[in-house]
Amino acid sequence: MNDKAYILLVEDNPDDEALTIRALKKNNISNEVVVIRDGADAVDFILARGNYAHRDPLDLPVVVLLDLKLPKIEGLEVLRQIRRDPVAKLLPVVILTSSKEEQDLIGGYSNGANSYIRKPVDFTQFTEVLGHIGLYWLLLNEKPPILRGTKRKQDTL
């Protein structure tokens, strides 16, 4: 478990990945950013299984920035799967996507997204948005008590 809270960025587009990290840095957010590039990997990482089985399952990011259009497993399906997990269901998930299609908004919220942010084209605006996200989820928001006695069931997988 890291001492410092980290951000999990689930993003397949390397441009967006670079810009997101740049925008975070410009907002002086120095937390580690873990990047996962497809949906299946994201689920494995969060639930500490498959390639990430060695991970401590209780070592969860402070917030997940989740894109919707992802290889292998779509963002909404990732959300559905982690919300079924008794531990990960408490994890703050911010959907960060290009789309503001109604079906995505409804799908996001009904599957338990904590927030839905649309990436602006304008990088200045994009930087502002990420500044707000960092401020809110890293500083203002109280973290869910995941570490205190939460037990993951063995048969969850």
Q: How far is the CB of 98 from other proteins (least distance, A)?
A: 4
15 near other proteins, judged by CB under 8 A: yes
The binder of other proteins chosen from 16, 40, 141, 143 (CB under 8 A): 16
Nearest to other proteins of 99, 141 (CB atom): 99
By CB under 8 A, name the one of 5, 19, 33, 90 that touches other proteins: 19
Encoded tokens for 13: 């587009």
| Other beta carbons within 10 Å of 62 | 17
Cβ atoms of 148 and 15 within 8 Å: the answer is no
- Residue 77 Cβ vs other proteins, minimum distance, rounded to whole Å: 15
111 binds other proteins (CB under 8 A): no
Tell which residue, 83, 95, 73, has the closest CA to residue 8.
Answer: 95
Q: State the nearest-atom distance from the C-beta of 14 to other proteins, in Å.
A: 9
For 66, phi then psi, to 5°, come to -110, 120
Residue 120 C-beta: closest distance to other proteins, Å = 8
Q: Does 47 bind other proteins (CB under 8 A)?
A: no
Residue placing its CB nearer to other proteins in the complex, 16 or 62: 16
Restricted to residues 64-103, the positions that interact with other proteins (CB under 8 A) are 68-69, 97-103
Specify whether the CB–CB gap between 65 and 129 falls below 8 A. no
| Dist CA 70 CA 135 (whole Å) | 26
What whole-number distance in Å separates Cα of residue 93 and Cα of residue 41?
A: 16
Q: Which helix (H) or strand (E) holds 118?
A: strand 115-118
Binding site residues, other proteins, CB under 8 A: 13, 15-16, 18-19, 22, 68-69, 97-103, 119-124, 126
